[in-house]
Amino acid sequence: MRERAALPDWTGRRVLVVGDLILDHFVRGSVRRISPEAPVPVVEVEDEHLALGGAANVANNIKALGGTPLLVGVVGRDRAGEDFRQLLRFAGLETSGLLEAAGRRTSLKTRVIAHHQQVVRVDREVRDPVGASTAAALRRLLAERAAACDAVVASDYAKGLFSPGLLRHLGATCADAGVPYVVDPKPVHFPYPGATVVTPNRGEAAGLYGRAFSTGEAEAVGRALLQRTDWRAVLFTLGDEGMFLCPRRGKAVRIAAQVREVFDVTGAGDTVVAALALGLAAGASLERSSRIANAAAGVVVGKVGTAVCTPRELARALRAGG
C-alpha cells in the first residue's frame, strides 16, 4: 500500500509540451435586465481576467506538479499574443519556445459568465495551418529541444499547429531519442505515429474509432486502434467513469474515477496528460502513471475553474484512493 501511494520523484523533470496555444478570457458580471435592443440579457461586467489555455494549461499543470515544462507553440503578433507571453512570465514559465507568426491571430476565447452560468462564448481564432516558414521553425525547435527532455506531450486542439508532416517528425524524433511521447489527440490528426500513449476522451475516441461505443466495448476498441497504429498504449479518459488503459502488451485495466465532489471538469484532460507525462518521465510504468494521472484529474475536478494539482494534493489523493 505504501509503495502504491508513493509518488515517483519527478521534481524538475523536463517535459516539452507542444500544441495549440489559447488565451482564455473570462468576463464576469450580473444580469438585472433584458436588453431593449434584442431578447438577450444585459451583463454588467464586474470583473475580467485572462488565463493560459490549450497546451499552455498542460504546461501550467506540469509546473504545479513540480516538473519543468518547456512550452512550444505559435502565437500571433497581436495584443492577445503579448498578453499570452506576459501570462507565461507571471506563471514562471519559459517563453523561449514561443514562435510569433506575423499575420496570424492568437486564439482568444472570451467566456461571459453571469451568476456562475456561461451566457455566451466568443471565439477569435484562425484554424488554418501555420505558414511554411513557421512550420520549418517549429521543426527545428522540436528537433533541438525534444531530445533534451524527459518526456514530450503533444496537446492537439486542432487549431492549425499540427500537420501530418510535423506529427511524423515529432514521433520520429521522440522514438530516436527514446523519450516517452504522450498525445492528447483530435481525430483529424489520426494516427499520431510513434506515440507512447494517446489519451482520447469519449468524443475523441469515437472519432478515432469511427463510431461511439460503450465502456464495455473499450477493450475491443482499444485493440482495434492499436492494430491500426504503432502506439504502445491507448488510455481512454471516460469522465466520471474514470479511465481505461489498453496497452499493446499486457492486460487492459479499468481505473475508477477518484473524486469526492465534482465542481468543474474543465481542464481535467490537460491534468491527465501532464501527470501521465511526468510519471513516464520519472520511469514509472504506464499503469502506475495512469493511476497517478487519474488521481490528479480527480483533484482538479474538485476545484472551481481550470485548476491545477500540487504534489501535496496528489500525494493525499493517492493515499486516500491508491
Q: What is the DSSP string of 57-84?
A: HHHHHHHHTT-EEEEEEEEESSHHHHHH
Coil, strand or helix at 282: coil
| Closest distance of CB 300 from ligand ATP, Å | 8
245 and 253 Cβ atoms separated by less than 8 Å: yes
Q: Which is nearer to ligand ATP, 237 or 289 (CB)?
A: 237
Contact flag: residue 298 with ligand ATP (CB under 6 A): yes
Residue of minimal CB distance from Mg ion? 269
| Closest distance of CB 298 from ligand ATP, Å | 5
Q: How far is CA 22 from CA 83, 88, 106, 155, 171, in A?
A: 11, 12, 7, 11, 23
Coil, strand or helix at 174: helix
Cell numbers found for residue 30: 450580473
63 and 92 Cβ atoms separated by less than 8 Å: yes
158 and 20 Cβ atoms separated by less than 8 Å: yes
Contact flag: residue 299 with ligand ATP (CB under 6 A): no
Report d(CA 32, CA 44) in Å as an integer. 8
Identify the active-site residue in 20, 24, 156, 270.
Answer: 270
How many chain residues touch ligand ATP (CB under 6 A)? Answer: 21
Residues 219-278 that bind ligand ATP (CB under 6 A): 237-240, 242-243, 257, 259, 262, 265-270, 272
Which residues, 6 or more positions from 37, have their beta carbon under 8 angstroms from its beta carbon? none
Q: How far is CA 239 from CA 6, 109, 265, in A?
A: 25, 23, 8
Q: Which is nearer to Mg ion, 78 or 264 (CB)?
A: 264
| Closest distance of CB 202 from ligand ATP, Å | 6
Q: Which residue in 242, 269, 279, 302 binds Mg ion (CB under 5 A)?
A: 269
Report d(CA 133, CA 243) in Å as an integer. 39
| Closest distance of CB 199 from Mg ion, Å | 8
Residues 159-218 that bind ligand ATP (CB under 6 A): 201
Q: Which is nearer to Mg ion, 27 or 301 (CB)?
A: 301
Stretch that binds ligand ATP, among 68-76, 82-90, 163-171, 293-301 (CB under 6 A): 293-301
- Picked from Mg ion, ligand ATP, none, the partner binding residue 22 (CB below 5 to 8 A depending on kind) is none
Active-site residue, 264 included: no
Coil, strand or helix at 178: coil
Please list, residue by residue across 8-32, b when 16 or more beta carbons sit within 10 angstroms of its beta carbon and e when fewer do: bebeebbbbbbbbbbbbbbbbbeee
Stretch that binds Mg ion, among 148-156, 157-165, 167-175, 268-276 (CB under 5 A): 268-276
Catalytic residues: 270
Binding residues for Mg ion (CB under 5 A):
269
Binding residues for ligand ATP (CB under 6 A):
201, 237-240, 242-243, 257, 259, 262, 265-270, 272, 294, 297-298, 301
